[in-house]
């Protein structure tokens, strides 16, 4: 049963990372605040976009561990490394839609956002650990007694501000990203949580029958 959950987790991370990579290819129309920061650091300092995603994720895990360890599971560590690694892999493979620098790029970024929302819902539904960013915001929410919605807005606004000051790609889609992605994430999360639960129940019944 645990293998099934890890399978969904890995597939979800692969899909999520692909969505990020698509968005990065058309970054001039705007990308997610966290990716604005990753791209800005890549352009200013060097390394790779995926490397900065990993470094920032590790820092967030450390802070979350200090604030509230309950949100840190094994999947959180795998998420921190795999998302950045897969993003770099997809960008290196050069198998992504190319920027046309026209209206077509808005369809490309929409595709990336949908894929990110879908993949994020799948890997979170597996229940093997929150992503570093989610765990970070949840731990702050618990400590301050504030709603996760308010904390998400504050944190992502600060991240966006830092990324923008460093020269990261901020445009109209950046401000729409969360509003489009969140409903897709929520729907996919609930859908696949039910799917995984049903699979667990079926496997559990078969196991009981064999051991009876």
What per-residue confidence (pLDDT) applies to 206?
A: 65
- Give percent of the chain above pLDDT 70: 94
Provide the b/e sequence for 72-94 (b: ≥16 CB within 10 Å). Answer: beebbebbbebbbbbbbbbbeee
pLDDT at 130 over 80: no
Q: pTM score, two decimals?
A: 0.87
pLDDT at residue 208, rounded to an integer? 59
pLDDT recorded at residue 21: 92
SS3 call for 99: coil
Domain ranges of the chain: 2-211
Tell me, what's the pLDDT at 40? 93
* Residue 204 confidence (pLDDT): 67
């Amino acid at each position: 049963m645990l293998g099934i959950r890890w399978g969904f987790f890995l597939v979800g991370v692969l899909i999520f990372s692909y969505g990020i990579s698509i968005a990065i290819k058309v970054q001039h129309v705007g990308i997610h605040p966290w990716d604005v920061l990753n791209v800005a650091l890549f352009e200013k300092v060097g390394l790779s976009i995926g490397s900065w995603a990993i470094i920032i994720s590790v820092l967030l895990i450390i802070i979350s561990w200090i604030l509230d360890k309950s949100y840190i599971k094994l999947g959180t560590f795998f998420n921190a490394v795999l998302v950045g690694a897969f993003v770099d892999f997809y960008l290196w493979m050069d198998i992504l839609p190319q920027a046309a620098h026209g209206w077509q790029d808005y369809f490309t970024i929409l595709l990336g956002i949908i894929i990110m929302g879908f993949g994020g819902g799948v890997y979170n539904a597996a229940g093997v650990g929150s992503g570093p960013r989610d765990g970070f915001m949840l731990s702050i929410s618990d400590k301050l007694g504030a709603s996760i919605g308010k904390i998400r807005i504050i944190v992502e606004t600060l991240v966006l501000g830092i990324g923008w000051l460093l020269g990261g790609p901020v445009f109209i889609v950046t401000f729409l990203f969360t509003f489009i992605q969140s409903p897709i994430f929520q729907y996919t999360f609930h859908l696949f949580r039910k799917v995984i639960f049903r699979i667990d129940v079926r496997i559990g019944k078969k196991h009981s029958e064999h051991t009876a």
